[in-house]
Amino acid sequence: MRLRLRTRIALSFALLSFLIASVISAILYLYASDYLIGQRQNAALTRAVLDARAAANGLASGASPEAALALVPSVGTSVQLLTVDGEWFGPTNEMVPDLLPEALLTQARPAGASQRIAVAGTPWFAVAIPAGPGMYVEVFPLRDLDAILRGVAWVLVAMSLFAAGVGWVIGRVAFGRILGPVRRLGGGARLIADGQLDTRIPLTGDPDLDPIASSFNEMAHAVEERIEREQRFSGNVSHELRSPLTAIQGTAELLESRGDRLPDRERSLVVVLGDQVRRLSQMLLDLLEISRIQGDDPAEWEMVDVASLCREVLAHRGLAESLVVGAQPLLRTDARRLERIVGNLVDNAERHGHGVVQVGIVATSRDAAIYVDDAGPGIEDDVRERLFEPFARGSSAEPTAGAGLGLAIVREQAGALGGTVIVEASPQGGARFTARLPVTEEST
């Protein structure tokens, strides 16, 4: 699964912060450990030299090895050992002489030597210095220093992880600050695509981002003006055609009323003329309606009994009111627009879907869905969305059955009410057209 851009940027900041913090922590740890160990070893060497001198003076004065070792002051937790003629003296139970490296004792004979050793997993620092006829060995425990260094290491690891977390937060904040203008552009584009052509992006005074926002606003203004010109042109053409078309329709109806006086050939031509004139008249009415919807035709909001309205639509078309099933909500909407939506869906099912099977209503707290099931063969997946475009028809539609504007009007009317319309397969076997309208606080 590909991560979102915001997550990838935040993760990059986190990894970069962790890497930098880890490198700095490693350098600090190495420097601190070298410094602390060096200090401890220098102090141990100084003390061992003084203690070896005390032991050597005791042996030189004729004291026994035990007496000479007793002259060494016992400070801290170090272990003092003395070897004379191969025999060891001192608390050998705490530090077994056999565990001391032979190389340490060999190197120490001329002028002394020191070495870090480990006994049972515990670190020690051993110093061997010649003391008259014998060899003085003092072993200093490093477990406390080792514990301190382990604590420092864990603290540095925690700081590195904390830096990674800070980097993550900075990355997400930086993403929001940097891509905020891009999101505003995307939001503006979506609003324009939804029909809010007056959407504009506010300028923020940023010399790098304002030119982009200005270009977007100019584009939106040009699109708005062009669509308004097209709407005015469509509306004007439709208005201009209505008068001559009304005259032609009246003449055609007059000829049809006197068709019994005409020869068969002329009578058939008059029937075709009347059908085409009525079809053209209906097309002009649909075009005018689309122009009004897309223009400044405000909705008239009122409480509407959706089930009653659906039954009235069916009764007006001579269909059984019992086809209406489901809930009976009261919806705050525009009754005229809702009647047009239901009527066009019913007409579409009658003309192209082999008849209406069912008109259902489903209401929730968020929206109300009105669906119309038909008895047709269904709609192919690749043409479902295209059906709601002006002058679009399904593959099974009759060439003379309507102008292909009914579903386009349904989509425009539903959009004007804040809703949507879709087509899907019906459980009855045909197609199901569903108009979904939002429920307001006043609706029940």
pLDDT digits (tens, 9 = 90+) for 153-193: 999 999 999 999 998 988 888 877 777 777 777 788 888 77
> Is the pLDDT assigned to residue 372 strictly greater than 90?
yes
> Is the pLDDT assigned to residue 399 strictly greater than 70?
no
Please identify which residue in the block is written with the tokens 């003084």: 50
Q: Percentage helix, strand, coil, to 5, in the chain?
A: 60, 15, 25
> Is the pLDDT assigned to residue 355 strictly greater than 60?
yes
List 115's β-bridge partners, or say none: 126
The predicted structure's pLDDT at residue 441: 61
> Is the pLDDT assigned to residue 248 strictly greater than 80?
no
* Predicted confidence (pLDDT) per residue in 148-160, tens digit: 888 989 999 999 9
Instruction: Determine the 3-state secondary structure of 37 from DSSP.
Output: helix
DSSP 273: H
> Is the pLDDT assigned to residue 296 strictly greater than 60?
no
The pTM for the full model equals 0.49
> Is the pLDDT assigned to residue 255 strictly greater than 80?
no
Identify which has the larger pLDDT, 114 or 178: 114
Residues 6+ apart with CB under 8 A from 60: 132
Phi–psi pair at 284, nearest 5 degrees: -65, -40
Lowest mean pLDDT among 223-227, 344-348, 403-407, 410-414: 403-407
Identify which has the larger pLDDT, 418 or 3: 418
- Position 1 confidence tier, pLDDT thresholds 50, 70, 90: low
Torsion of the alpha carbons at 297, 302, 304 and 310, rounded to the nearest 10 = -10
Long-range CB pairs of 275-278 (<8 Å, 24+ gap) are 275/400, 277/245, 277/248, 277/249, 277/252, 278/249
Mean pLDDT of 245-273: 77
The predicted structure's pLDDT at residue 312: 94
Mean pLDDT of 257-261: 75
Radius of gyration of the chain from Cα atoms? 48
Contact (Cβ atoms closer than 8 angstroms) between residue 416 and residue 393 = no
Mean pLDDT of 258-272: 77
Lowest mean pLDDT among 14-28, 131-145, 194-208: 194-208
Task: Pick the closest to residue 169 from 340, 10, 28, 2 (CA basis).
Answer: 10
* Predicted confidence (pLDDT) per residue in 329-349, tens digit: 898 998 888 998 999 899 888
Mean pLDDT of 401-413: 75
DSSP state string for 82-106: EEETTEEES-TTTS-GGGS-HHHHH
* Predicted confidence (pLDDT) per residue in 124-149, tens digit: 888 888 888 888 888 888 888 888 88
From CA 2, how far away is CA 71, in angstroms rounded?
A: 75
The predicted structure's pLDDT at residue 339: 92
Taking CA atoms, 425 is separated from 244, 366, 383, 388, 405, in Å, by 43, 23, 13, 16, 22
Taking CA atoms, 415 is separated from 226, 230, 389, 403, 443, in Å, by 21, 19, 14, 21, 18
- Position 385 confidence tier, pLDDT thresholds 50, 70, 90: confident
The amino acid occupying position 252 is: A
Task: Pick the closest to residue 436 from 378, 365, 345, 362 (CA basis).
Answer: 362
Instruction: Classify the phi-psi angles of 150: left when phi > 0, otherwise alpha if psi is within -120 to 50, otherwise beta.
Output: alpha
State the chain's maximal CA–CA distance in angstroms. 161
Q: What percent of the chain has pLDDT over 70?
A: 88
* Predicted confidence (pLDDT) per residue in 70-104, tens digit: 888 877 778 888 888 888 888 766 666 777 888 88
Q: What percent of the chain has pLDDT over 90?
A: 16
Domains contained in the chain, CATH given: 5-149 (3.30.450), 210-294 (1.10.287.130), 302-438 (3.30.565.10)
The predicted structure's pLDDT at residue 290: 64
From CA 412, how far away is CA 400, in angstroms rounded?
A: 23
The predicted structure's pLDDT at residue 387: 77
